[in-house]
Structure 1
Amino acid sequence: MPIDAVKATSAEPRSTPISWDHKDVQLYHLGIGAGSRPDLADPATDPAELRYTLESRLHVLPSFATVAGGGMALAGGLTAPGIDVDLAAVLHGGQRVEVHRPIPVRGSAVQTSRVAAVYDKGKAAVIVLRSDVADADGPLWTCDTQIFVRGEGGFGGDRGPSVRTDPPGRAPDREVTRPIRPDQALLYRLSGDWNPLHADPEFARRAGFDRPILHGLCSYGIVLKAVTDTLLDGDVLRIRACSARFAGVVLPGETLRVRMWAEAGRILVTAVAAERSDAPVLTDTVVEHV
């Protein structure tokens, strides 16, 4: 069996040194659309966007944690003991990032990762990877990554929790659109996710798609930035955590429609593909903040 759940979850955690600097942060921000907001007259030079693109004013969106050090967390989950799967069968199922203190513009840290669980969904398996990152001053962030592997279920394991976070039954407090550039996936993958599903048409067809799709984590970053800019006054320091389930794909060249509902200490969010009758892209999405 390609996935040995017991072997995977009982393996020793792996520790890897990672580092980053302002160029990595700027590249990531550009990869999720910084400098191209449609609601600004001149987004390339607007002060609101320069916080993401200009090194002298730079702050770090917490979703950068998913690519810091070259996006090693997801790769670690696919090479863990007991895990042997076809990359064409792999999709990113969900993501949660919790920041313990602000992410510095440049830093060196140690990432410790382990397979926290393997769930049997029948026709698929879900691998849950937990990664904790700390530097000399202590914990920085924790990432929980859910890796969905088609065709690898049915091994008699635990189905895992089923947690849904539905938006309130009222109109959203804010709604914005974010266009996806035709080259968005090509730019985003330079931050470390080299899965050919997002660039190679032949590989995408083998995986069951008409053409390359956008990275789920790119949509995740775009949505977190939209929420930050719209309801948190652009202040990344207010963000404590962001969790999301990847319910569908978005294609380069399409438009994300992001709807937000503000509650005490959190913002509930959905993201849909506007051109495809609001097909779901991100669901069960919650941004926790102060």
Structure 2
Amino acid sequence: MPIDPGAVGREGEPRSRSWDSKDALLYAVGVGAGLGDPTRELEFTTENSDGVEQRVLPTFAVLLSQAPPPSFGEFDRAMLVHAEQHLVLHRPVPVEGTVTARARVVGVHDKGSGALVTIEATAVLDGGEPLATNRSAVFIRGEGGFGGDRGPKQAWSPPDRAPDHTVTYATRPEQALLYRLSGDRNPLHSDPTFAAKGGFDTPILHGLCTYGVTGRALVATVCGGDPDRLTAMSGRFSATVLPGQSLTVDAWRDGGDAWFRTSLDDGTVVLDHGRATVA
């Protein structure tokens, strides 16, 4: 069975996940925190530094709010790439806790060259308090042409001026191997044979790792170093990143919102249409 447009509204099984201080630290290192200067970002990379209280990068909530999706068709997983990511934080992420989330298909769109499937889940802490709502879209190449709706177009219009902030972060050649330890074991990011099946010369960096590096940049710039101020973040993955490539984030403040874009050294935009809400 190809992509099933009737999957909209279908729910997967709920999933509970617990995490502790070590998981939050591993995620931070997995998105590059401390790279180049291990004495920086100690609040995200250590739990016992003198005078530094451990805090959690807000984009860690994306992983905490993931749950097994329901079936939406059969396809070659090597042809699947992460297309879009939207995160809303209902409160700061604690250093440890347990959440339960259930995924639901909220959109199946025909993009011609492939299908865009959007899945949403809300992670709820023990006790019933919502932690985060995660909306993720995947693009399955070669699965379009089934006659479905192409989906809405979203305008993106940052202020017509130079960025208010520009920051460049390096990634390690082994960045994908570190990031996968937080849960995403897709071999597209580690196995050259599997990556070749998807048309890539070498394993590529996880889109959510790029998203996490960008989140670090937003915390450091538009949020003034306070992770609790980043309450929403969305973006569209527009090109692949190889482990070891540097990522430059341009950000514009616009009242309580921020616009952002992430690119490679050669100017290739890899995370586009970025919007964030800053408290």
TM-score grouping bracket, smaller chain normalisation: over 0.9
Q: Is the 8 A contact 2:64 2:123 kept in 1?
A: no
**CA deviation vs aligned residue, 1:83-121 (integer Å, no higher than 9, x gap):** 222110000001011011111111112111111111111
Q: Which residue of 2 aligns with 1:168?
A: 159
Q: Following TM superposition, by how much is the alpha carbon of 1:142 offset from its aligned partner in structure 2, in angstroms? A: 0.2
Tell whether 2:124 aligns with 1:126.
no
Rounded to whole Å, the distance in 2 between the matches of 1:10 and 1:184 is 35
Q: Which residue of 1 aligns with 2:60?
A: 64
Tell whether 2:189 aligns with 1:198.
yes
Letter in 1 for 2:275: V
Distance 1:184 1:12, change over 3 A: closer
Secondary structure of the residue aligned to 2:221 is: helix
Q: Which residue of 2 aligns with 1:111?
A: 101
Q: Which residue of 1 aligns with 2:33?
A: 34
Secondary structure of the residue aligned to 1:83 is: coil
Q: How does 1:208-223 map to 2 (within 5 A)?
A: 208-223=199-214
Secondary structure of the residue aligned to 2:14 is: strand
Point out the more displaced range, 169-178 or 25-34: 169-178
Q: Following TM superposition, by how much is the alpha carbon of 1:4 offset from its aligned partner in structure 2, in angstroms? A: 1.3
Tell whether 2:75 aligns with 1:85.
yes
Tell whether 2:39 aligns with 1:45.
yes
Give unmatched runs, 5+ long, in structure 2.
none
Rounded to whole Å, the distance in 1 between the matches of 2:46 and 2:93 is 16
Q: Which residue of 2 aligns with 1:11?
A: 10
Secondary structure of the residue aligned to 1:240 is: strand
Letter in 1 for 2:46: L
Q: Which residue of 1 aligns with 2:88?
A: 98
Give unmatched runs, 5+ long, in structure 1.
none
Q: Is the 8 A contact 2:86 2:235 kept in 1?
A: yes
Rounded to whole Å, the distance in 2 between the matches of 1:141 and 1:207 is 31
Q: Following TM superposition, by how much is the alpha carbon of 1:29 offset from its aligned partner in structure 2, in angstroms? A: 0.3
Flag as ranges the 4+ runs of structure 1 deviating above 6 A: none
Give the counterpart of 1:138 among 106, 120, 129.
129
Rounded to whole Å, the distance in 2 between the matches of 1:15 and 1:172 is 41
**CA deviation vs aligned residue, 1:26-82 (integer Å, no higher than 9, x gap):** 10000001112x5xxxx3123xx111011242111121012227xx43xx23xx233
RMSD value over aligned CA atoms? 1.4
Q: Is the 8 A contact 2:11 2:102 kept in 1?
A: no
Point out the more displaced range, 259-268 or 13-22: 13-22
Rounded to whole Å, the distance in 1 between the matches of 2:198 and 2:242 is 15
Q: Which residue of 1 aligns with 2:270?
A: 281
**CA deviation vs aligned residue, 1:242-272 (integer Å, no higher than 9, x gap):** 0010011111111111111111011111111
Secondary structure of the residue aligned to 1:14 is: coil
Higher helix proportion, which one?
Answer: 1
Q: Which residue of 1 aligns with 2:22?
A: 23
Q: Normalized against structure 1, the TM-score is what?
A: 0.91
Identity of aligned residues (%): 44
Give the counterpart of 2:216 among 225, 232, 241.
225
Secondary structure of the residue aligned to 1:217 is: helix
Distance 1:119 1:262, change over 3 A: same
Q: Which residue of 1 aligns with 2:227?
A: 236
